[in-house]
């Protein structure tokens, strides 16, 4: 059973338009570089890990959607597709909103500005990494839109490994640079899901 975006033009247009609307803002934000002199980098290769595992996960999702049709989401295919598209847009909105709240302090590489405060507005009141939560929601939506359980699991596993490495690196750099204010912030917030994790 082929994924809906590959069997019907309407679903294909919706899927690829959503995919492009996800990638273009990410590329635009990536071009925005933090001034090298005003920040301390502590990335430890985490950006490379995230990007590599993201694209491996996406490739695996597409491949498994075709190569493992027995793992296709069979019941309610069309509603699941549209739930996936809706999740993609919800995740994009959360991610872009979180990035906008950080403003000039947002970077793709782990880098802490020398004058950076602890941001505690919007979703940052509850979770420390809402842009990653947004990315996870988007990725989940992508997997559901492609309609294959094996592909979705492979994609989420890759992203979980990537963020499992990235988040401790980032939090370590923030604690080292911001000290006690960030340590207190860690104690009263969650990483990715409010009141859960």
Mean pLDDT of 98-123: 87
How many domains does the structure of the chain reveal? 1
Q: How far apart are CA 181 and CA 1, in angstroms?
A: 52
Q: Residue 196, CB half-sphere, CA atoms under 13 Å: how many?
A: 4
Express each pLDDT in 72-104 by its tens digit.
999 999 999 999 999 999 999 999 999 999 988
Express each pLDDT in 138-173 by its tens digit.
999 999 999 999 999 999 999 999 999 999 999 999
Asked whether residue 193 is assigned to any structural domain, the reply reads: no
Asked whether residue 36 is assigned to any structural domain, the reply reads: no
Handedness of CA 131, 57, 62, 69 (dihedral sign): negative
Name the DSSP class of 108. Answer: S
- The band of 43, judged by pLDDT with boundaries at 50, 70 and 90, is confident
Asked whether residue 13 is assigned to any structural domain, the reply reads: no
* Per-residue pLDDT at 35: 47
- CB of 73 within 8 A of CB of 147? yes
Helix, strand, coil percent values for the chain (each to nearest 5): 75, 5, 20
* Per-residue pLDDT at 139: 97
Domain that holds residue 157: 45-106+113-188
Q: How far apart are CA 112 and CA 102, in angstroms?
A: 12
Mean pLDDT of 5-26: 95
Give this prediction's pTM: 0.90
Burial-class residue 81 by CB neighbours within 10 Å (0-12, 13-18, 19+).
buried
Asked whether residue 165 is assigned to any structural domain, the reply reads: yes
Asked whether residue 147 is assigned to any structural domain, the reply reads: yes
* Per-residue pLDDT at 12: 97
Asked whether residue 144 is assigned to any structural domain, the reply reads: yes
Write out the DSSP string of 167-197. HHHHHHHHHHHH-HHHHHHHHHSBSSSTTT-
Structure tokens at 170: 């980032």
- CATH code of the domain covering residue 99: 1.20.120.1630
* Per-residue pLDDT at 115: 81
Mean pLDDT of 40-63: 90
Asked whether residue 172 is assigned to any structural domain, the reply reads: yes
Asked whether residue 1 is assigned to any structural domain, the reply reads: no
Say how many C-beta atoms besides its own lie within 10 A of residue 156's C-beta. Answer: 16
For all residues of the chain together, what is the average pLDDT?
A: 91
Q: How far apart are CA 155 and CA 148, in angstroms?
A: 11
């Amino acid at each position: 059973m082929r994924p809906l975006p590959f069997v019907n033009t309407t679903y294909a247009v919706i899927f690829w338009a959503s995919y492009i609307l996800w990638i273009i803002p990410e590329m635009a934000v990536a071009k925005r570089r933090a001034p090298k002199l005003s920040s301390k980098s502590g990335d430890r290769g985490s950006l490379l890990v995230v990007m590599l595992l993201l694209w491996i996960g996406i490739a695996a999702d597409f491949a498994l959607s075709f190569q493992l049709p027995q793992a296709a989401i069979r019941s309610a295919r069309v509603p699941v597709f549209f739930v996936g598209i809706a999740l993609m847009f919800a995740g994009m909105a959360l991610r872009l909103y979180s990035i906008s709240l950080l403003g000039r302090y947002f970077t793709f590489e782990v880098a802490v500005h020398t004058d950076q405060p602890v941001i505690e507005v919007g979703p940052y009141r509850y979770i420390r990494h809402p842009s990653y939560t947004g990315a996870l929601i988007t990725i989940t939506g992508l997997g559901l839109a492609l309609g294959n359980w094996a592909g979705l699991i492979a994609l989420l596993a890759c992203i979980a490994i990537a963020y499992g490495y990235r988040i401790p690196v980032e939090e370590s750099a923030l604690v080292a640079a911001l000290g006690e204010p960030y340590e207190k912030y860690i104690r009263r917030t969650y990483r990715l899901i409010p009141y859960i994790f």
